[in-house]
Structure 1
Amino acid sequence: MKLVISVSQQTAYLLDGLEVILECAVSTALNGVGCEKGSNQTPLGKHLVRAKIGQDEPLNAVFKGRRPTGEIYTPALGQAYPNRDWILTRILWLSGTEKGKNRLGSVDTMQRYIYIHGTPDTEPMGIALSHGCIRMRNSDLVKLFDLIAVGTPVVIEA
């Protein structure tokens, strides 16, 4: 298995060999692509799933610091905290594998806390709006989460 994220198409493709077994719309960074810490950009290149977080949590479970808060996202909660960057349902924490490009030093994907995570259903997909992470619909994320393992290769392409 391999997950390919196309920034230009704002789409994720889960491949088993050459067969696409899951295709989902995503939302990458509003600030475009880049690997530098503090850039709020989506990093390019070869990565792997370093950790899967949130197994068995309900849809719309809210995470902060990679831990469930006990909250379930609702539009009312969203209105109460309008500036919060919502991380919902599941987290796939990415780690870069290319030294100097997306691993170690000032370009380390894992140290930048770059995830594939759920987002409120009101957030558009197919449009780059995130703070660097890759956002997905919660239902798509649960499907993906259940299909892949820790260590699954992830390629983020421009």
Structure 2
Amino acid sequence: MNQFPVAIIMERRRLQNRWVDEAWEAVGVVPAFAGGAGAEGGAAPRRILAETDRDQWLVGGFVLELFRDEADNYFLNMSSPVPKVFVMWRKEGEIAAPVSVSASYGEAARWLDSGEQVDGIPMSREIADWVGDFVNTHYKPAPRKKVRRNDPLAQDRERGRGQS
């Protein structure tokens, strides 16, 4: 199965700034197992932390999905010092709402190139093990190409063969 249910933790920090009152960021991606936290699809964000300078919301109903044609990008992610889950989100009214999640460097880059808000969150052990298994099964390194060295005398030798 190439799907892993997850919930996303969004955080709002209050700022002491003349132009901006708050800053939003995705700060966590947690497994959402059946009956567990964040498993309910389409449910309203649930506040899980309320402090004077920051709030956090748990937003469930997301699925991290892996595709064979992205195996190279998953490999790049898993071979980095800190593998990440990428969360694309948009500000909707008073709250920032996650839109999509991915483990692909390529997909995250495409989102950023199109002007979306994207945060990278370190993978939990469960998610990293799952993505790692997928990469081990489906990633095939590109075949190495034989590189011809620049030989300045190669043309002379080719001409010499044709003259006999």
TM over 0.5: no
| Higher relative contact order, chain-length normalized (CA < 8 Å, sep 6+) | 1
Q: TM-score, normalised by structure 1?
A: 0.26
Q: TM-score, normalised by structure 2?
A: 0.26
